[in-house]
Structures are given as C-alpha cells and as structure tokens.
Amino acid sequence: MDQDRQNSQNHDTEHVGHDREFATYRTAQSSNDMVPTVFRRGVYRTIRGSLKRFLSIVVITALGVSVMCGLKAGCEDLRDSVDVYFDQQNVYDINVQSTYGLTRDDLVAIQEVDGVETAEGIYTETAYTAVGTTRERVVVQSLSRKNIDQPVLVSGDLPESAGEVAVTSKFLKASGKKLGDTVSFAANDASSSNQSAKDQFAAGDYTITAEVLDPTDVSSDSTVNAFRAASAADYKFYVSEDAATSSSYSAVHVIVEGAKSLNSYSDAYTTKINEVKGNIEKIRDEREKVRAQELTVDAPASLDASERQANMLFGIEQDNINRMPQGSEERARAQADLDQRRAATDQQFADARAELSDLGECTWYIQDRGNIASYSSVESDSSSIEAIATVFPFIF
C-alpha cells in the first residue's frame, strides 16, 4: 500500500507540473497576441494625430506610381505601334550588302538559306538633288516587286516606268514641287563628298507621279512619331527598277519566316533574326570568294573581249571611211566623229581597268533593323524614358 500511495503522489505531482506549464504558455501567448494589437493602435493614433500629412504622403506616392505606370505603358505602346507599322509596310528584317554589290547568284543563295521567307535585290544610291537654290542629299531606291519596304502612298500612282519617281511629302513641302513636275538627281556632283561615286540609275529628268512616306522613317510625316527625329538622309525618292543601270544589286532585303508574329523589340524576335543571320553567315565566305573571282579574273577577260569587239567595229567603220573621196567634207566629218567616239571608248576601257586594279577585298555586311535610324531611335528613347519612370516614385 505504501507503494500505491507513493505512485499516486507522483501522478498528482506530474499533473500539477503540466498545469503550470500550460498556464505559462497561455500567459505568453496572450502577451504575443497583444503586441500586434498594441502596434496597430499605435499606428492608428499616429495617423489620426497627423491625418493631413498622412493623406498627403498617400496622394504623392500614388501620383509617383501612376506616372511610372503611365510612362512605362506609353513606351510599350510606342514600340508596339512601330512594330505594327513596320509589319504593315513589310519592312525588311535583314539587310545584306557587299562592298562590290550583290549578283543574282548571291540573291538565289540567300533565298535558299534556312529561315528566309523572301529575299529581293534592290538598287539604291545616295545622290544630290536641287531643293530651291541648294543641293540636298537624297536616298534613291528602286521599288520592290515583292512589296518589301513598301512606301506609304499619300497621293498619285507609284512609278511604273523608268522616267517616273515617287517623292516624300517632306521633299514636296521643301521644294515647292507638285505631282507632274520633274526632278533630277546625281550621285556624283559638286556637293558629293565622294567624287568617284557611280550612278546606279539613268541620268535625266524624272516626272513626279506620287507623294509617299518613307516606311523606314517613323518620325517623318507619319502617324507614328519617335521622340527625336532620326534619318540617314534629307529626303527619299523611289523609282522603278527599270531605271537602274547597274549590273549588280546594291543590297538584298530579307523577310524572315515567322518574324511578323513577334514584336520587333522582343527578345524572341532578336533571337530568331540572329539565328537566320547566322545561317547567312555560313554562305558568306563562299559567296565573297565567287564575287572576287568574277571581279579579278572573269571581269578583266570580259573587258578584253569587249575591247577587241569594239576595235573590230571601229576598224570596219574606218574601212568605210577610207573608201570615201579624198578631201571630201563628208569624209572629214565621219573621221572626226569616229576619232571622238574611239577616244571616248578607249578612256572608258582605261577607267574600267584602273577600277579593277584598285579593288580591295569583297566583304559582305549582314545587318538587321537595328541599322534603321528611326527604329533604333524609338528603342533608345523609350528605354531612356522607362529608366526615368523606374526611379520617378523615389523623387517624390
């Protein structure tokens, strides 16, 4: 029985200990529950004691956040608008250029590259034209047959023959010309910094048939405006491909498969374009070597053959003159005309050989929309404003 009594006392002692521990826990829990309540009451008293100051802080903070959200949303809308505009006008994704032009074989090779949807060769030159009493710089470009880089037609009809030209609204305003007037331009004139520049298009007067907007200049007379103007030239002219006199393209414009479904300023678009640029890079070395072969071996041989043919024709003409009566006025005129044409032809062959002897390396340049001035301007300006918007709330 003593053992039972002892066990009973131990059991009672354990219960008392548990009860004390539970009471201690409840006391501590009650204290912890009171801390947030006290804190909230303190905050409430502070706000109520300076309600006007608190409301001012809330309004200023809300204003800063609102300005930040507005600026960021505006920049996103601007980039989206430019992307839609470029897609509507079918602006190129990739632009391939070469130091000595691109041939039809180059065009075919680019068209067969993986990821290329459409490729087209275009002719272009930086020329000078009269605007009032001054000579201004103008980029002249052939119209695309596949509607790549299609200008926005304001009025009139796009050129269809070699003697027609479409000019920008900016040029019409500055020059005072109108549809139906004529305009001329030249790559090599007194205003040119490159006196060795070659005309890509036929010389002469062109009739203005259309007023257009340059699709690559979103800051010029269009519904999409950049924060600052950016253009590579003062004006832009568009002519028919029939007006081109060059045997090689100035550039090849490429549309990439699936690129239109992506925003031009997105990482996904950049990744896709870089992938196709990499594919074009794979054929670059081979095409450069082929072009160099054409210019350093094939071209001189063709030049020699052309010179032999010209001398043969001049020889036949000289024989006919020799049959004319000695001392006759007709013979003198014919001889003078022949001598003049022969001298001019000899000079052309001499100039061609001199140009071939000065050839450097044939190099391709593979560029994307980042080389379009207004496209890059929108990107840099919107990024700058977004950076300001990010820190704007802290200013308040």
Q: Is position 344 within any domain?
A: yes
Count of C-beta atoms within a 10 Å radius of residue 125: 22
User: What is the pLDDT, as a whole number, of residue 13?
Assistant: 52
Q: Is position 334 within any domain?
A: yes
Q: In angstroms, rounded to a whole number, what is the distance separating the alpha carbons of residues 112 and 159?
A: 30
Instruction: Give Cα separations from 326 to 67, 108, 299, 331 (angstroms).
Output: 94, 58, 41, 7
> What's the residue count for the chain?
396
Q: In angstroms, rounded to a whole number, what is the distance separating the alpha carbons of residues 102 and 108?
A: 10
User: What is the pLDDT, as a whole number, of residue 60?
Assistant: 73
User: What is the pLDDT, as a whole number, of residue 76?
Assistant: 81
* Contact assessment for residue 96 and residue 102, using Cβ atoms and an 8 Å cutoff: yes
User: What is the pLDDT, as a whole number, of residue 362?
Assistant: 83
Tokens of 176: 């005072």
What residue ranges of the chain have pLDDT lower than 70? 1-36, 38-39, 43, 64-65, 67, 188-198, 219-233, 297-301, 355-360, 386, 388-396
H-only helix segments in the chain: 2-49, 51-88, 104-111, 169-175, 267-293, 299-322, 329-357, 373-395
Q: Is position 165 within any domain?
A: no
Q: Is position 306 within any domain?
A: yes
Q: In angstroms, rounded to a whole number, what is the distance separating the alpha carbons of residues 342 and 324?
A: 19
Domain that holds residue 274: 258-371
Q: In angstroms, rounded to a whole number, what is the distance separating the alpha carbons of residues 329 and 136?
A: 47
Q: In angstroms, rounded to a whole number, what is the distance separating the alpha carbons of residues 62 and 24?
A: 46
Q: Is position 331 within any domain?
A: yes
DSSP string computed for 85-151: HHHHTT--SEEEEEEEEE-HHHHHHHHTSTTEEEEEEE-EEEEEEEETTEEEEEEEEEPPTT-TTPP
Q: Is position 212 within any domain?
A: no
Q: Is position 106 within any domain?
A: no
Q: Is position 302 within any domain?
A: yes
Start-to-end CA distance of the chain, whole Å, equals 83
Q: In angstroms, rounded to a whole number, what is the distance separating the alpha carbons of residues 184 and 203?
A: 8
Q: In angstroms, rounded to a whole number, what is the distance separating the alpha carbons of residues 231 and 375?
A: 10
The number of domains in the chain is 1
User: What is the pLDDT, as a whole number, of residue 389?
Assistant: 63
